[in-house]
Amino acid sequence: MSILIRSVGVSIPEQRISNEELAARVDTTDEWIRSHTGIGARHVAAEGDQTSDLAARSALDALARAKIAPREIDLIVVATATPDYFGFPSTACVIQEKIGALGCAALDVTAGCTGFIYALDVASSMLEARKGRHALVIGADTLTRITDWSDRSTCVLFGDAAGAAVISRIEEGGRGVLGSVLGAEGGGARALYLEQPARDSTFGRPEQVVPVIRMDGKEVYNFAVKSIAVLVERLLHASMYRLEDFSWIVPHQANARIVQAAAKRLGVPESRFYMNIEEYANTSSASIPLALREMVDKGLLVQGQLVMLVGFGSGLTYGAIAIRW
């Protein structure tokens, strides 16, 4: 038995903001952003779109590519830090209705930028346990909606997008998801969190004020570099493979410098890490499926190749999954 990734769909907002355009509104420069992060632009969700709209489009794209009808889906797992609703209902339920996958199980996973890895692991494990045959794993975020535009150390980093994978349980073995490592360091929770507006303690209706991202950039940076190296080593330790066997490492796209530092630490050429942060910035849980789809379109993923997905983010969480494509 294997859990196979059949297709990857994406939804990328049309509105694109280059570093130069951002520098006209924020105290920053294209030179600073590029040299410190590798980011050149970001895409921003259209005004009427919610996270579930981007997610639903990416899911329909993935379903069409897999030639699977929405009603054949048994499970939807959505990774998002920017749900349509605070608390409930889950964004997965909203998406379920939007794509017409009525009746299937639907749940959200909260793991920050590691969300897609966590969601893929949860969905794969459920299919492995024979709780369904086909699942949609979606990473969707609209972080520009919770960005503090007066904080130049964070507002230049993020973009909006969604990516979805259709995964299926097949009887033949040796392909698809081979193994995973998930972890968290809860002690670092305050290094990257959503600051909630102060609540009125009276019985009145609470004010509607948007929460914003707060980040200790250096702490997250150091955690990320260490995590990539540790995850790769742990994943290899738990498998029979060597690093040289993997054609690609697909990291969460948070900062090109993080990947460069991790590559150096692991002694792997940077070219083995797939990067597309320049165009999309950090799209949180969407970044890995966005990268995968681009690789599929460019013909970089060949059946039989070993690929490693590596993520890190708020929590602080980290996770990696080995796949035979």
Least spacing, CB of residue 32 vs ligand UT7, in Å: 4
Residue 80 as a binder of ligand UT7 (CB under 6 A): the answer is no
Residue 241 as a binder of ligand UT7 (CB under 6 A): the answer is no
Site string (90-119) toward ligand UT7, x via CB under 6 A: -----------------------x------
As a whole number of angstroms, the distance between CA 323 and CA 325 comes to 6
Least spacing, CB of residue 73 vs ligand UT7, in Å: 28
Residue 34 as a binder of ligand UT7 (CB under 6 A): the answer is no
As a whole number of angstroms, the distance between CA 193 and CA 189 comes to 7
Phi, psi of 148 (to 5 degrees): -90, 105
Span from 11-19, 31-39, 55-63, 204-212 in contact with ligand UT7 (CB under 6 A):
31-39
From the list 43, 93, 104, 282, the catalytic residue is 282
> 56: Cβ–Cβ under 8 A, 6 or more apart, which residues?
11, 95, 98, 99
Q: Site for ligand UT7 (CB under 6 A): how many residues?
A: 20
Residue 220 as a binder of ligand UT7 (CB under 6 A): the answer is yes
Residue 137 as a binder of ligand UT7 (CB under 6 A): the answer is no
As a whole number of angstroms, the distance between CA 227 and CA 105 comes to 32
Q: What does R_g of the chain's alpha carbons equal in angstroms?
A: 19
Asked if 252 is an active-site residue, the reply is yes
> 107: Cβ–Cβ under 8 A, 6 or more apart, which residues?
76, 77, 78, 90, 92, 122
Residue nearest to ligand UT7 (CB): 217
Least spacing, CB of residue 217 vs ligand UT7, in Å: 3
Least spacing, CB of residue 257 vs ligand UT7, in Å: 7
Q: Which of 110, 108, 102, 235 is nearest to 181 (CA)?
A: 235
Residue 192 as a binder of ligand UT7 (CB under 6 A): the answer is yes
Rounded to a whole number of angstroms, the distance between the first and last alpha carbons of the chain is 15
Q: Which of 15, 17, 14, 11 is nearest to 41 (CA)?
A: 17
Residue 58: its H or E element:
helix 51-66
From the list 93, 104, 113, 155, the catalytic residue is 113
- Amino acid letter at 37? T
As a whole number of angstroms, the distance between CA 195 and CA 45 comes to 22
Asked if 155 is an active-site residue, the reply is no
Residue nearer to ligand UT7 on the CB measure, 37 or 91: 37
Residue 224 as a binder of ligand UT7 (CB under 6 A): the answer is yes
By annotation, the residues acting in catalysis are 113, 252, 282
Catalog residues that contact ligand UT7 under the rule CB under 6 A: 28, 32-33, 36-37, 113, 152-153, 156, 192, 217-218, 220-221, 224, 254-255, 258, 282, 313
